[in-house]
Structure 1
């Protein structure tokens, strides 16, 4: 049925249709339930009110602040500050303590280890791994092989000042020459065989004997005659079969040829003294600390 205004009406129900039809079935233009309409209008009103009261509309360099001035960042900052205030006393004790004299039963020690775990995961695990087992080029902190020492004082110094960085004048510093500019390829291979022999690695005895003289002339000043290294210089122990970059012949040859130069940030410039001591306690108690 077509009405005078051109609109169609369903003959059975007498309700106006939308004009849509599928296989002879017409869509009725039933009005929406009144409760649904009011709910919809209320959500619009609520949405407008929310965008006025709270941060909502993105701008070029931020967002509208809202008349209430609410900020989730400020809320989180206040919560963090609340916990920092609660821990202020024990944190101050940790910061002023000599770690070597701090008993494991002391609340400051327990606070340091627990807090140090969180600090480690947030700042150190990207290189040393979540479990501190390290990776190629990143030291394993679980073993007892320490380049500059593994007691509490040595670890704290390393954490605070870092290694071979250019931001802290007190950073640990050592630099191995690139012997590719000094020795021939044959001499480097012979030296590599001697280095591998120091830890009973797979090597050629004749080449190792030839490399012994080269090692004494070029490497022993830092790594010592027996290859046990020198912590004062940051020279690795070559006799313990613990390798930072790998202990196969090709890797050792590459190391001798090109040298290595890993860098660690100076965390003392980014963390508080209490935080540095906390992560020191955490690393020390992992199993490799001396």
Structure 2
């Protein structure tokens, strides 16, 4: 460190720091700045004593005032629920099939159901409910288990192919890779392709149609139109959950698919299940 000296022009001692011949004066800090700093220090100490602040092993100091943001949120929720108590009771008792779309109750159900959907369902079905590969689009008219309000509610309540609800929607397609030869799988895929596309090998599709009628029609129907009671998809509408190109169809026929949806009736309140059912139905894709 360079030796400190007094600046000739100002008469102020330098700090000893020098940059390109420019020396720093050791001027005292302004008093207003110092008092502001001291006040902030005092305020910070008082705050950490009064409010939760210091992290500990299993939590944080609670503070002398006992303030809790979680308790405040819980209190706000209680107040909110109290304001909507009448609508909640009415929604729980309502017949969802006859709920007028223009009613206050329907608007409340859609608003509440939208919040539930964004918090619990959007991770799979997307924030706009348009779905993704393996996760159904809730905006179209293609419903594996039915798109009327009662069917939607049942699907949400019990889920699909889970092991926690005995009433869960359940369907299981065999893995035909264990049953068909590779060329037979190719023929079935070509026939399924022919149901919704004009570009296919007619001879190969003809061979696949016989295999389809003998092995697949029991669930998907002779014309591949599906069966909502069995949860068998329509194969003739060009709407595909896992993709409709030949590679995706080959994977589906060979190894089958087994998507699982939780039983939300075990996780959500009855009013939330009913509200999200109304919301999904109101998106426009339901029957």
TM-score by length of 2: 0.93
Aligned to 1:246: 243
Which deviates more, 193-202 or 43-52? 193-202
1:253–1:16 CA distance, 2 compared to 1 (3 A):
closer
Looking at structure 1, the residues matched to 34 and 200 of structure 2 have their Cα atoms a distance apart, in angstroms, of 85
Aligned to 1:279: 276
Deviations along 1:144-203, one digit per CA (max 9) or x if unpaired, are 111011111000000111111111111101000000000101111111111122224532
Aligned to 1:165: 162
Looking at structure 1, the residues matched to 252 and 152 of structure 2 have their Cα atoms a distance apart, in angstroms, of 25
Q: 2:139 matched to 1:129?
A: no
Q: Secondary structure at the match of 2:147?
A: coil
- Shift in Å, 1:91: 1.1
Looking at structure 1, the residues matched to 64 and 280 of structure 2 have their Cα atoms a distance apart, in angstroms, of 47
- Contact 1:56–1:63 (CA<8 Å) still a contact in 2? yes
Q: 1:144 aligns with which of 141, 149, 171?
A: 141
Q: 1:209 aligns with which of 206, 211, 215?
A: 206
1:283–1:23 CA distance, 2 compared to 1 (3 A):
closer
Looking at structure 1, the residues matched to 229 and 146 of structure 2 have their Cα atoms a distance apart, in angstroms, of 9
Which deviates more, 92-101 or 28-37? 28-37
Aligned to 1:119: 116
In structure 1, the gaps of 5 or more residues are 1-5
- Aligned residue pairs: how many? 285
In structure 2, the gaps of 5 or more residues are none
Aligned to 2:90: 93
Deviations along 1:8-44, one digit per CA (max 9) or x if unpaired, are 5445544444334456554433322222222221111
Looking at structure 1, the residues matched to 4 and 244 of structure 2 have their Cα atoms a distance apart, in angstroms, of 87
Looking at structure 2, the residues matched to 113 and 24 of structure 1 have their Cα atoms a distance apart, in angstroms, of 72
Deviations along 1:90-145, one digit per CA (max 9) or x if unpaired, are 01111111100222232211110111112111111111112111111111111111
Q: 2:34 aligns with which of 34, 37, 41?
A: 37
Specify the structure having the higher radius of gyration (Cα). 1
Looking at structure 1, the residues matched to 208 and 62 of structure 2 have their Cα atoms a distance apart, in angstroms, of 71
Q: How does 1:77-88 map to 2 (within 5 A)?
A: 77-88=74-85
CA-based RMSD: 1.8
- Shift in Å, 1:268: 0.9
Q: How does 1:25-64 map to 2 (within 5 A)?
A: 26-64=23-61
Q: 1:189 aligns with which of 183, 186, 190?
A: 186
Q: Secondary structure at the match of 1:19?
A: strand
